[in-house]
Structure 1
């Protein structure tokens, strides 16, 4: 598996602050990594995360990179990279009235994600920005990216599939 710098640092800090919580985090992440160890990086879906709060610009940081990698995907920061999955982090209810125009963008409309109806809305506040929510954010992404392997019960509360058709 690729280098997980953010996670490694988070785990080290957590083990120092609260050894039990650090051990729990490590066990849960190890389960995810173990379940997906035979899915080679070349066949993992590419995932683009867009933020409604920043006029649908891509969200890309080291924390999100590790979240998506652990969840079984490959994070990308540019719509030109032809994402297999697009997730939009919802800021408010106006998303539903603007999402179609976002997906009609010349590049996004031709992406594998739009063509194969792999569009998801993440409704969790502060997604991929809070250290304390790292495991929950991984679980959300794992349900979206590798649904055959993971069901944590976040669908319908923290995220939903958006049907284009």
Structure 2
């Protein structure tokens, strides 16, 4: 995000300003539910940080699913490898059947979200748009940018 326009910088500063006094940042796991649960790419974790969350990172030597359960995320964002958020809803029942998944804070507090891969990884959104989208998920009471239903959906439990 080196070449930001003034308008894009202002948009990021708005997020930063609104979160200035938030001291308890939620632990956010952005996962790809393929085989042994994979964390999202590094740049997604950077965007989570810009959006006000703490990205769940897997420690060296920890297996993906065990690390995920052990760290007990506050928010889980599913980024399917391809397709829309609606089509990715089919993976959630399988995740809920996994040992321990139903006991994490995100599930207990109904904070499970699915990104639309076609929108999130496509060319229609720049990094500022993606940061706003993630801020809207992480802090739904503070931010409404209009991406719900377009770039992400909430999986109600």
Same fold (TM over 0.5): yes
Higher relative contact order (CA 8 A, sep 6+): 2
1:25 and 2:8 equivalent? yes
Aligned residue among 59, 74, 86 for 1:84: 74
Corresponding residue pairs, total: 142
**Structure 2, gaps ≥5 residues long:** 58-66
| Structure whose residues are more often helix by fraction | 1
CA contact (8 A) 1:64 1:128 kept: no
CA distance in 2, matches of 1:156, 1:82: 26
Normalising by structure 1, we get a TM-score of 0.76
CA contact (8 A) 1:48 1:75 kept: yes
- CA 1:144–1:115 in 2, change beyond 3 Å: closer, same or farther? same
**Structure 1, gaps ≥5 residues long:** 1-9, 15-20
3-state SS, counterpart of residue 15 of structure 2? helix
1:48 and 2:29 equivalent? yes
Normalising by structure 2, we get a TM-score of 0.80
- The CA deviation at 1:27 is 1.2
Q: Give runs of aligned pairs for residues 1-165 of structure 1, distance below 5 A.
A: 10-11=1-2, 14=3, 21-40=4-23, 43-52=24-33, 54-55=34-35, 56-61=37-42, 63-77=43-57, 78-79=67-68, 80-90=70-80, 91-92=82-83, 94-125=87-118, 127=120, 133-164=126-157
3-state SS, counterpart of residue 120 of structure 2? coil
CA distance in 1, matches of 2:9, 2:147: 20
